[in-house]
Amino acid sequence: MAAAEAVTGVRPLRGHYEAYYRHQAAHRLAYRDLYRRFAKVVQDMASARGHGDFTICDLPTRLEIIEVIRDDPATAQEFEIPVFQETLATYARTDAWLALGYVSWEGSARGLEVYRQPFAGSTP
């Protein structure tokens, strides 16, 4: 969640990023190890900056760490698509809809309670 916020610049509103990455780690070959390497890299960089944990760093520090990773060709090649681009794609399919003012994102159940409420202009 802390990495998703640093990549998108928006605090995740729900647990869908965590669910997405847990699913990827469980079902895609080598992704679990890749995510562990990513977690170790960001953790080591946070520790080098005097922070105990990447997840408790403030947003500017996390953004700086992500930018350093993206600027280094070796780490950028390893993490750009499976971590950064997939996080942005998840944002575009989910939280971006909420940021635009929709009640929920495309494909999710919504309005299941609204039909049971009286219309705003109706009288009982």
Could you give the angle at which helices 16-27 and 86-93 cross, rounded to 10 degrees? 130
Q: How many domains does the chain have?
A: 1
Beta strands in 22-72 (DSSP E): none
Domain membership of residue 66 as a residue range: 2-116
**pLDDT score of 66:** 94
Report yes or no on 124 lying in a domain: no
**pLDDT score of 70:** 93
Report yes or no on 121 lying in a domain: no
**pLDDT score of 114:** 67
Chain length of the chain: 124
Report yes or no on 61 lying in a domain: yes
pLDDT digits 0-9 by tens, 24-38: 999 998 999 999 999
Higher-pLDDT residue of 2, 47: 47
**pLDDT score of 47:** 94
CA distance 79 to 77: 6
Report yes or no on 123 lying in a domain: no
pLDDT digits 0-9 by tens, 66-124: 999 999 998 999 999 999 999 989 888 888 888 888 878 887 777 676 667 776 665 65
- For the record, the structure tokens of 30 come out as 């080598």
**pLDDT score of 72:** 94
Other CB atoms within a 10 A radius of the CB of residue 29 amount to 7
Is the CB of residue 34 less than 8 Å from the CB of residue 75? no
Nearest to 59 by CA among 4, 19, 18, 110: 4
**pLDDT score of 117:** 72
Report yes or no on 80 lying in a domain: yes
Judged on CB neighbours under 10 Å (0-12, 13-18, 19+), 88 is middle
Judged on CB neighbours under 10 Å (0-12, 13-18, 19+), 54 is buried
